[in-house]
Amino acid sequence: MPRLLTGHFTVSGAVVGSERNIMLGRDVSVLPSSLADPRWDYVALGHIHKHQNLSKGRSGVPPVVYSGSIERIDFGEEGDPKGFCWVQLERDNTHWRFVELDARPFVTLRVDLRASHNPTQDAVNFIEQHDLSGAVVRVYIQLEPDNEARLNEAVLRETLLRRAGASFVAVISKEVEQPARARLGMSPEGLTHMELLERYLMSKGVSPERRLELMEAAKEIFENYREG
C-alpha cells in the first residue's frame, strides 16, 4: 500500500511568507531529515502559505511538499503563485504536480509625480494603464510639497474601484519629499550608522518592505567592515 504522511507544522529551512508574524514565538520546527524518509511515498504539508518542494533535486526520498494556500491573504504574498497539489499516489512510484489557480490578485502601484503640475490626472492616467480587475490594490505616490495639495484622493479611489475594477483599495500613500534638514533631523551626530541609514531611506520614501531588505544588507556590510 502507498504510504502518505500529512502534517500541519513548520519544517526547518522552509521559506515562509507573510504568515511568519503569526507563527513567531509559538512555532515548532521539524527537521527535513525527519520527513525525507523513503518509507514514505509522499509528505503533504500545511501551515506555511508558500508552495515549495523541500526535497527537490534529491533522489531516493519522497516529495516533501507544502501545497501553499489557494488564496492570498496580504501583500506579502503578492507575487506568489497559488494553487493545490494533484498527487497520484503509488508505492515507490508517486507522481505529483502543482495546479495553479487564478487567485485574487494583490497589486502594488508606485508612481513618481514630483514633477507633475496635475498630479490627480497624471495618477489617473497611470492607474488606467494597469489591469486591476478584482484586485486588492495599494498605491504609493511620490510628491513634492508644492503639488501635494493638488492630489485628490477621492478621485483616485473612484478611478480604482469603478473605472479600473479593483475590489478593494488598501491604501493610497503620499510620500512627500521634504527639505534635507527636516528629513535627517536636527541632531544626527548622536545616531548610529544604521539609524542614519534608516532615516535616509525613510526620507526617500522607500517602502517598509524594501527598507527592511536594505537595512539587513547594510547590517552585514557594516559587520564585515568592523571585522576587517
Encode pLDDT of 56-71 as tens digits: 999 999 999 999 999 9
Residue 174, all three cell numbers: 503620499
The DSSP result for 10-52, as a single string, is EETT----TTHHHHTTT--EE-GGGT--TT-SEEEEES--S-E
Give the pLDDT confidence of 147-202 residue by residue, as tens digits. 998 999 999 999 999 999 999 999 999 998 766 544 455 556 667 888 888 888 88
pLDDT of residue 11 exceeding 50: yes
Beta strands at 52-53 and 83-88: parallel, antiparallel or unpaired:
unpaired
Separation between Cα atoms, residue 159 and residue 7, nearest integer Å: 45
**In the predicted model, is pLDDT for residue 136 greater than 90?**
yes
| Residue 3 banded pLDDT, cuts 50, 70, 90 | very high
Place 10 in a pLDDT band, splitting at 50, 70 and 90.
very high
Q: Maximum CA pair distance of the chain?
A: 72
Give residue for cell 493638488: 150
End-to-end CA distance of the chain: 59
- pLDDT score of 128: 95
Q: What is the pLDDT of residue 179?
A: 60
- What is the predicted pLDDT for the residue at 29? 85
Question: Who has greater pLDDT, 207 or 59?
Answer: 59
Give the total residue count for the chain. 228
Query: Cβ distance 157 to 177 under 8 Å?
Result: no
Mean pLDDT of 24-37: 82
Q: Which residue has the cell 518509507?
A: 39
The alpha carbons of the chain give a radius of gyration, in whole angstroms, of 23
